[in-house]
Structure 1
Amino acid sequence: MRSKREQRWLSVAAVAAAGAVALTGCGSPSAAVGGAAAGTGSQGSTGEVDTNATMRVGATVATSLDPVAAPEAVRTLMSTWPVYDRLLQVTEDGQYAPMLATEWTFSDNGSTLDLKLREGVTFTDGTPFNGDAVKANIDRYRAATGSASATATAAISSVDVVAPNEVKLRLSRPTTTILNTIAIPIGGAMISPKALGNADLATKPVGTGAYVLESFEPGQKITYKRRSDGNIWDTNAGKPAEVQIGAYAPDASNNAIRTGQLDVAQAGGGTTQLQSEIDSGKVIVRRQPTASTVSGMFLNSTIPALANIKVRQAINTALDRESLVAAFGEGQAARVQPFPSTLPGFYEAGEKSYAYDVDAAKKLLAEAGYPNGLDLGEFLVANNGRMPAQAQAIQAGLAEIGIQIGLRSVDILQLTTEYSKSNAPGMFTYMTSASLDPSAWFTWLYTSPLTLPGGTPEAMKPLLVGVDDSSLSDTERKAKAEAVNKFSVENALYAPLMQGVTGMLITPKVGGTGTGNLPFTPFGVSDLRNVYITK
């Protein structure tokens, strides 16, 4: 039986979910939201592959297919996995694996990373993939001033082509994050050198992947067709003849799965409304328990009230995280730190902080000089999945302690950029960095003006040093990461809510979704290169 407290929050959540339609609009894209349960659920079909099939995917669609124009890596992958391969892959269980690079070795002092490259690979325009192509791509990423790609590749000083199938990355300092850089689209996607100077690269990608672009409606729909030159190097990829990726609002995505208009989609709206179809086997939930996705509130400390630690602590104390998870986070875990439990350095003790307590939150607010409450202004909200409904529920919860906030929906692909340019007091969105490396998370959360407009707190700066030092032991790096997370929790730099994703919705004809077949899953979405349709 639910407690009265949980029933109250669920009631607020129900009203918020109903009202979220107005906030999100019927054209909002779907993304990875929901909860990760134990196990991976059903594994999909094991039938014969239909090589003439079209695989229809519901996912966020980028407005540009050029990785340099992307604000972050996750949603870029959702739009570009058919065409762009990366130097390394991230496995479903959170390990680095070969892709276009087959071997990688750090020098003893960590100053260089040697990569052996896959031979016999060609771009779809016929250009061979080799060391020169790697150098051209990384040099372009490094030169894209102000981009997420430039940030991701900042530790690379230069690229030496040692041989046609070997390159040496020279690093400005020993860092483990470089492996993640070359495993994500904004640092590791390989584009044909002949296409790098094309003015239309944002709409006409040229990669080494199994597909070529057929059509592209920015933000709405992409159609890829299997390349016909016989040069698909990955024998597990390219099984569907065509891949269509379309943007759907969460409810529309669920309805499309139910009616057979989609084959694959993230469970952005949860699975409750599909329970009948799930029970009958018409819809399958493929769980993604290794997802590190964290969501919550970003707080802008350049706003005078939010520069006060007690106000930030009051906000955290006013969040009934467990009830919010029950309402919105199917299978998710409540989270107090903006860092996932799946990575080294997770601050376990910190999760006991900020227990839900309205009276304590009001007391903190009074101690901060706001005994009668305050109006923080308009927060930005990711127009994505259940985020608008979560924001509305939290808006009502904060009002109980006297904090008033407004809400404004923003396209998730533009959200962080707009936040950094506005004077908004905060935003509701994902705190996730597409990385297996704690240091990359910290760079995103604590040093980027896109996420922390007030800048890195002075007392935190020494704690960030050496978290990614490849010359240190795993134990030493883990201890450094935990110290950073401890500082973040104690100073309430963010107001996180939960961690996890519901999973992927598939129809019974979808195959290739067995355990281990969905790379990139630790980042909350999956590279669907191994997925196909059966006869």
Structure 2
Amino acid sequence: MKSRQTLTTSLAGLMLLAASGYAQSESVIRIGLGADPDMLDPHTARTYYGRFVFSAMCDRLVDIDQNLQIVPGLATDWAYGDEGKTLTLNLRQGVLFHDGETFDANAVKFNIDRALTLPGSLRKSEISSIESVEVTAPYTVVFHLKSPDAALLSQLTDRAGTMLAPQATAKGNVTAHPVCSGPYEFVSRVQQDRIILKRFDKYWNKDAYHFDKVVFLPIPDASVRLANLRAGDLDITEGIAASDIKTVQADSKLALAKVTGLGYMGLTYNIANGSVSPDNPFAKDARVREAFSLALDRDAINQVVFEGQYTPSNQAFSPVSPYHVNLPVAGRDVEKAKALLAAAGIKTPLNVDILVPNNPTSLQVGQVIQAMASEAGFNVNLQMTEFATLLDRQQQGNYQISMSGWSGRADPDGSIYSFASTKGNLNDGRYSNAQIDQWLLDARQNSNSDQRKALYTKVVTQLQTDMPIAYLYFEPRIFGMNKMVTGFQAYPDGLIRLSGVSLTQ
């Protein structure tokens, strides 16, 4: 079956290149993704895979380097004032959007206002400290803040700081045809098949980019992605499976790049979202959520599924983050899990539905969870779901437990606030704790790293009891590529940055 899938995918890749009219002289890079991105509107999108496309297509106000330090993007420099309640950005001049519009301070105001007011925007809680945006000069903009926000610049390195063309966005369909100012512009998309971008010849830094076209190919099965890479139908792919690392290293035509990532995988419990059944035990009693977590052996998951390459987790902050809390991951304790269920008045076996992304690796993790949880009295049903659909169901509250992760952010606020704050836009379980809200707000408003870490330590410790998310593991970012790909550098945020990347012949 695997060889048939590989052949089908390979032929499809060749056919799509021919159908798109690629000339032999054109330079094309083909990038494999683990799933199809959701909508291509940076203000409503939420998938990790969409961030790859945005990275190639859209400039951001600021970016990060390999050491997670903030560096200039469309903003060349910045300064806080008024005791941290204003942030002034000086903007890059000579930048055009893909439709020919000029990038300026008015464009920044349009985008930030849209992110704050658009119905369904998932960026609202990320930049909720912004009270108003003032254009003080053609290329100077001032953010007036409700209170100091130590995390704001970091949020602007991602989708909250992504700049769309105002005129095209106001009159067009961003999801179907986004218009940005990045090195590559949108050409076409076929859902579950491909996204094609082409070089933007008027890009302000075009000499750093060397491809005429970029093709993103969603292929959920990691083994099929690797087979296409080995066959020459992909040039680079994210998400090399841990079990395939040795295969890549042994192939003289391939190269491997690996970096400790910022992201995690977890189980999100539906506590109060949507039409939650009033007798849902996970909503009624945190002891049931803790019991399910205690039924799992995270070390065993790492060894069985990931050959020891991943890191067991109990929090949102990766070991690569200076805000990682040194709190031991609880070991598996089936007897304690049973005792917690009994104390909560639960009769076993308890039927549990878990949404799981429809790829082989996630299925394997789900099956290990299923087997482990059964020993503690949980009868687990795995609901395999396409990833974008899974996120939609999660957001709508149409689930009991959902297995989904987060790719992580350089500033800790970006990995916790939107998920654990009562008003967080990514708090899909609708967890609420006023004390957590206050600690998160205090940490966001505090620029002292030691004081922030103390606050986040309180948050992580309290979440061990409340358990809105059962964190499973931290994910390394593992890339495979043809050795003809040169100039690629892996970043902890896991994105593929095409600046300086080329294909040798």
- State if a TM-score over 0.5 links the two structures: yes
How is 1:290-369 mapped onto 2 (pairs within 5 angstroms)? 291-302=261-272, 304-306=280-282, 307-330=284-307, 331-349=309-327, 351-352=328-329, 354-369=330-345
Report the Cα offset of residue 87 of structure 1: 0.5
TM score, norm. by length of structure 1: 0.82
Tell me how far apart the structure 2 counterparts of residues 461 and 62 of structure 1 sit (CA, whole Å).
31
Could you give the per-residue CA deviations for residues 69-98 of structure 1, whole angstroms, max 9, x where no partner exists? 3135x3322122222111111222211111
Alignment of 1:54-65 (within 5 A): 54-59=28-33, 60-65=35-40
For residues 534 and 254 of structure 1, what CA distance do their matches in structure 2 show? Answer: 20
Q: Is the Cα–Cα contact under 8 Å of residues 352 and 400 in structure 2 kept in the other structure?
A: yes
Q: Does 1:253 align with 2:225?
A: yes
Runs of 4+ in structure 1 off by over 4 angstroms are none
Aligned-residue sequence identity (percent) comes to 25
Indicate conservation of the 8 Å contact 2:32/2:216, yes or no.
yes
Partner AA of 2:93 in structure 1: E
2:188 is the counterpart of 1:211: no
Higher relative contact order (CA 8 A, sep 6+): 1
**Structure 2: how far apart are the matches of 1:434 and 1:335?**
13
Deviation at 1:268, TM superposition (A): 4.5
For residues 139-161 of structure 1, give each alpha carbon's deviation from its aligned partner in whole angstroms, at most 9, with x where no partner exists. 22222123203333322222111
Match of 2:258 in 1: 287
How far has the Cα of 1:296 moved from its partner?
Answer: 2.0
Kept in 2: contact 1:419–1:450 (CA 8 A): no
The verdict on how the C-alpha distance between 1:213 and 1:452 changes in structure 2, with shifts beyond 3 A counting, is: closer
Partner residue, 1:244: 215
Counting only pairs closer than 5 Å after superposition, residues 70-219 of structure 1 correspond to structure 2 as 70-71=45-46, 74-185=48-159, 187-219=160-192
CA RMSD of aligned residues (A): 2.6
Residues 5-55 of structure 1: CA deviation (Å, up to 9, x unaligned)? xxxxxxxxxxxxx99xxxxxx99xxxxxxxxxxxxxxxxxxxxxx994210
Q: CA contact under 8 A between 1:123 and 1:206: conserved in structure 2?
A: yes
- Which of 421, 428, 451 is the aligned partner of 2:427? 451
Q: Distance in 2 between matches of 1:212 and 1:492?
A: 42
- The superposition leaves residues 266-312 of structure 1 with CA deviations (integer Å, 9 ceiling, x where unpaired) of 1343343x6345213222110122x1111021122346422323322
CA shift digits 1:238-258 (9 cap, x unpaired): 211211111112221111111
Q: 1:193 to 1:423 in 2, by over 3 A?
A: closer
Q: For the Cα contact (< 8 Å) 2:407–2:494, is it kept in 1?
A: no
**Equivalent pairs, count:** 475
Deviation of 1:57 (Å): 0.2
Q: Work out whether residues 407 and 493 of structure 2, in 8 Å CA contact, stay in contact via their aligned partners in 1.
A: yes
How far apart in 1 are the matches of 2:140 and 2:360? 42
Which whole-Å CA distance do the structure 1 matches of 2:233 and 2:246 have between them? 18
Query: 2:194 is matched by which residue type in structure 1?
Result: K
Please say if 1:429 is aligned against 2:429: no
Residue 327 of structure 1: how far off its partner (Å): 2.0
TM-aligned CA distance change 1:130 to 1:120, over 3 Å? same
AA paired with 2:409? S
Which of residues 475, 500, 503 in structure 2 aligns to 1:530? Answer: 500
| 8 Å CA contact 1:380, 1:426 repeated in 2 | yes
**Change over 3 Å in CA distance of 1:108–1:384 after alignment to 2:** farther
What does 1:227-238 correspond to in 2, within 5 Å?
227-228=200-201, 231-235=202-206, 237-238=208-209
1:369 to 1:531, Cα distance in 2 relative to 1, 3 A: same
How has the CA–CA distance of structure 1 residues 465 and 267 changed in structure 2, closer, same or farther, with 3 Å as cutoff? closer
Equivalents in 1 of 2:426, 2:391: separation in Å? 6
Code of the residue aligned with 1:252 in structure 2: it is: V
Q: In the aligned structure 1, how far is the partner of 2:154 from the partner of 2:74?
A: 14
What is the correspondence of 1:8-19 to structure 2 with a 5 Å cutoff?
A: none
Unaligned runs of at least 5 residues, structure 2: 3-7, 10-23, 273-278
Judge conservation of contact 1:130–1:165 (CA < 8 Å) in 2: yes
SS in 1 for 2:445: coil
> Counterpart of 1:103 in 2: which secondary structure?
strand
Shift of 1:384: 4.5
- One-letter identity of the residue aligned with 1:445: F
> Compared with structure 1, are the counterparts of its residues 68 and 465 closer, same or farther at alpha carbon in structure 2 (3 Å cutoff)?
closer
Among 346, 370, 373, which residue is 1:398 paired with?
373
What CA distance in whole angstroms lies between the structure 2 residues aligned with 1:376 and 1:172? Answer: 46
| 2:29/2:215 contact within 8 Å kept | yes
Going from structure 1 to structure 2, the CA distance change for 1:285 and 1:415 (only over 3 Å counts) comes to: same
2-structure distance, mates of 1:146, 1:64:
12
CA distance in 2, matches of 1:81, 1:460: 32
Distance 1:502 1:462, change over 3 A: closer
Contact 2:57-2:182 at 8 Å conserved across structures: yes
192-201 or 496-505, which deviates more: 192-201
Q: What is the one-letter code of the residue matched to 1:368?
A: A
Counterpart for residue 17 of structure 2: none
Within 5 A, what are the aligned runs for 1:372-391? 373-384=348-359, 386-391=361-366
Contact 2:93 2:104 in 1 (8 A): yes
Matched residue, 2:239: 267
Query: Secondary structure of the residue that 2:134 maps to in structure 1?
Result: strand
What's the offset of the Cα at 1:456?
1.3
Work out the CA distance in 1 between the residues paired with 2:132 and 2:288: 45
Displacement of 1:345: 3.4
